[in-house]
């Protein structure tokens, strides 16, 4: 689906006839309204939409196709408006988009983006892009927020049990979600959003997206790992040979190899194979074997495996008083991992005297697919209209049947008040700096964030929140 004139809801095609005749400019803002999932969100993904969609000019062929489809579909088509965009702007949208720096952690209810048309003939254009723009915001931002909340839980456990939490955290949550999403684009955008927080992924489309849209050299990494088909194809009676082959093929000094071990009997595989017949092979390889339980209770099972490994491989007790397994052996728990079970497992590790160093976590559909626009109540709403007399007037809704869906009136700004990002009316600013900065204007990308910048900003937020210090440094690069 490549025609940008069709990347909207059907009813948007008729809206050019619905604004008041005096309308010249429409301003709109996007936010995540207060919600039950998270008080804060990690803003990410706008730049991908800008580069993929708004830097691509529409063509005469796009207009012809859209006009035919709209006529057959039963909705009006703004032929004159789109022809003006093609003729006067080379097919690029005459919009100005302001946004917070990507990677910023933002309280719900604070605008992330504000949009205005720059050509006064086209007040309809601002909200025409709502469908594509909102879709580009809510999905990667919600995935990034889910990943960030998991990171907070894991990092807190590392602070309590690890001698080197900052070195450990990048690879503690691995993305296995590519097969569980609705499309390749979802895999790319959601997987890339996760990589803002972590460096481990098996979603390869996310690697390309991070390079194309944010200039990353290589945003994520993985290791050789077994799946059930490669283990069970050896047959139950040859499971030891299947495991041994993994070591022969991939276990080199300093390397990691992951082996799913529950094809038949996880406890037997751990106790009698990995801790018995294959123990010396594991130790002599110089590699780190990562055992993957893939069934059973997602919190109890990995703890049971750790105890068995400790009994046979041993380890050390670190400066935090936590047990750290022999570096030859580790565990990854991917089955049944959600924000809740990760938090529970981390808590149990801490209470049982285990260092979180010993385990990595994996998420699939729970990370990339079990979210929707309502998870954080995303919305884009018109907030002001400039009339033919040059005067701005407030635009808002206030439904009596649901006050929680009331929208903000007046063009918006975002400022720091007492270290907290806060929404303000733009017209009320008195010398304060509006943190919503222009990122796109009339087909030109004004600000191009690098993936490293986004990551560094998100990491700074993590450190601020876990250290308990103030938020007055949370907008680096916003100037």
Assess contact for 291 and 243: CB atoms under 8 A. Answer: no
User: Would you give the DSSP letter of residue 200?
Assistant: B
Q: Does a structural domain hold residue 35?
A: no
Task: Flag whether pLDDT at 255 surpasses 60.
Answer: yes
Q: What percent of the chain has a predicted confidence (pLDDT) above 70?
A: 97
Q: Does a structural domain hold residue 383?
A: no
Q: What is the mean pLDDT of the chain?
A: 95
What is the model's pTM?
0.95
Task: Flag whether pLDDT at 418 surpasses 70.
Answer: yes
Count of domains forming the chain: 1
Q: Does a structural domain hold residue 134?
A: no
Per-residue pLDDT at 222: 98
Average pLDDT over residues 399-413: 92
Pairing of strands 359-363, 323-325: unpaired
Pairing of strands 288-292, 256-260: parallel
Question: Sheet containing 256-260: which strands, arranged edge to edge?
Answer: 173-175, 359-363, 329-333, 288-292, 256-260
> What span, in angstroms and rounded, lies between the C-alpha atoms of 425 and 59?
37
Residue with the bigger pLDDT between 474 and 139: it is 139
Strands (E) across 235-357 are located at 256-260, 288-292, 315-317, 323-325, 329-333
Average pLDDT over residues 180-200: 97
Task: Flag whether pLDDT at 474 surpasses 60.
Answer: no
Q: Does a structural domain hold residue 54?
A: no
Q: Does a structural domain hold residue 6?
A: no
Q: Does a structural domain hold residue 408?
A: no
Q: Does a structural domain hold residue 303?
A: yes
Range of the domain at 291: 145-368
Confidence of residue 466 (pLDDT cuts 50, 70, 90): confident
Average pLDDT over residues 251-278: 98
> What span, in angstroms and rounded, lies between the C-alpha atoms of 279 and 70?
67
Per-residue pLDDT at 462: 93
CATH number where 220 lies: 3.20.20.70
The predicted-structure confidence for 63-108, as pLDDT tens digits, reads as follows: 999 999 999 999 999 999 999 999 999 999 999 999 999 999 999 9
The predicted-structure confidence for 272-316, as pLDDT tens digits, reads as follows: 999 999 999 999 999 999 999 999 999 999 999 999 999 999 999
Per-residue pLDDT at 404: 86
Closest CA to 299 of 263, 369, 349: 349
- The token pair that represents 477 in the structure block: 């690069």
Task: Flag whether pLDDT at 360 surpasses 80.
Answer: yes
Confidence of residue 467 (pLDDT cuts 50, 70, 90): low
- Angle made by CA atoms 163, 167, 168, in degrees to the nearest 5: 75
The predicted-structure confidence for 208-230, as pLDDT tens digits, reads as follows: 999 999 999 999 999 999 999 99
The predicted-structure confidence for 14-65, as pLDDT tens digits, reads as follows: 999 999 999 999 999 999 999 999 999 999 999 999 999 999 999 999 999 9
């Amino acid at each position: 689906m490549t025609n940008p004139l069709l990347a909207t809801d059907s009813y948007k095609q008729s809206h050019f006839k619905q604004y008041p005749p005096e309308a010249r400019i429409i301003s709109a803002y996007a936010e995540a309204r207060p919600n039950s999932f998270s008080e804060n969100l990690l803003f990410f993904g706008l730049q991908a939409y800008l580069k993929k969609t708004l830097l691509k000019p529409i063509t005469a062929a796009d207009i012809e196709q859209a006009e035919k489809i709209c006529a057959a579909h039963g909705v009006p088509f703004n032929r004159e408006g789109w022809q003006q965009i093609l003729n006067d702007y080379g097919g690029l949208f005459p919009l100005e988009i302001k946004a917070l720096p990507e990677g910023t952690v933002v309280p719900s209810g604070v605008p992330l983006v504000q949009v205005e048309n720059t050509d006064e003939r086209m007040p309809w254009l601002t909200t025409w892009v709502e469908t594509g723009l909102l879709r580009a915001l809510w999905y990667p931002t919600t995935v990034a927020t889910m990943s960030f909340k998991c990171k907070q839980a894991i990092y807190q456990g590392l602070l309590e049990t690890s001698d080197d939490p900052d070195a450990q955290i990048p690879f503690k949550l691995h993305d296995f979600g590519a097969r569980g999403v609705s499309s390749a684009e979802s895999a790319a955008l959601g997987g890339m959003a996760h990589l803002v927080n972590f460096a481990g992924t098996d979603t390869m489309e996310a690697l390309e997206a991070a390079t194309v849209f944010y200039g990353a050299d290589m945003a994520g990494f993985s290791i050789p790992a077994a799946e059930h088909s490669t283990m069970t194809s050896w047959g139950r009676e040859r499971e030891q040979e299947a495991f041994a082959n993994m070591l022969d093929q991939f276990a080199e000094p300093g390397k990691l190899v992951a082996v799913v071990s529950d094809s038949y009997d996880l406890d037997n595989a751990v106790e009698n194979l990995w801790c018995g017949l294959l123990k010396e092979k594991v130790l002599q390889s110089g590699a780190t074997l990562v055992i993957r339980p893939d069934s059973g209770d997602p919190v109890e099972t990995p703890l049971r495996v750790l105890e068995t490994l400790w009994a046979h491989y041993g380890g050390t007790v670190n400066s935090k008083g936590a047990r750290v397994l022999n570096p030859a052996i580790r565990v990854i728990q991917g089955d049944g991992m959600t924000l809740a079970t990760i938090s529970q497992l981390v808590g149990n590790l801490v209470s049982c005297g285990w260092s979180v160093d010993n385990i990595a976590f994996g998420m699939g559909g729970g990370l990339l697919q079990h979210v929707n626009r309502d998870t954080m109540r995303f919305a884009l709403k018109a907030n002001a209209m400039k009339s033919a007399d040059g005067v701005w007037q407030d635009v808002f809704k206030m439904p009596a049947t649901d006050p929680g869906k009331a929208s903000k009136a007046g063009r918006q700004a975002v400022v720091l008040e007492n270290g907290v990002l806060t929404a303000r009316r733009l017209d009320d600013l008195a010398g304060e700096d509006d943190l919503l900065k222009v990122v796109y204007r009339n087909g030109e990308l004004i600000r191009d964030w690098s993936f490293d910048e986004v990551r560094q900003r998100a990491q700074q937020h993590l450190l601020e929140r876990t250290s308990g210090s103030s938020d007055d440094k949370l907008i680096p690069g916003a100037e």
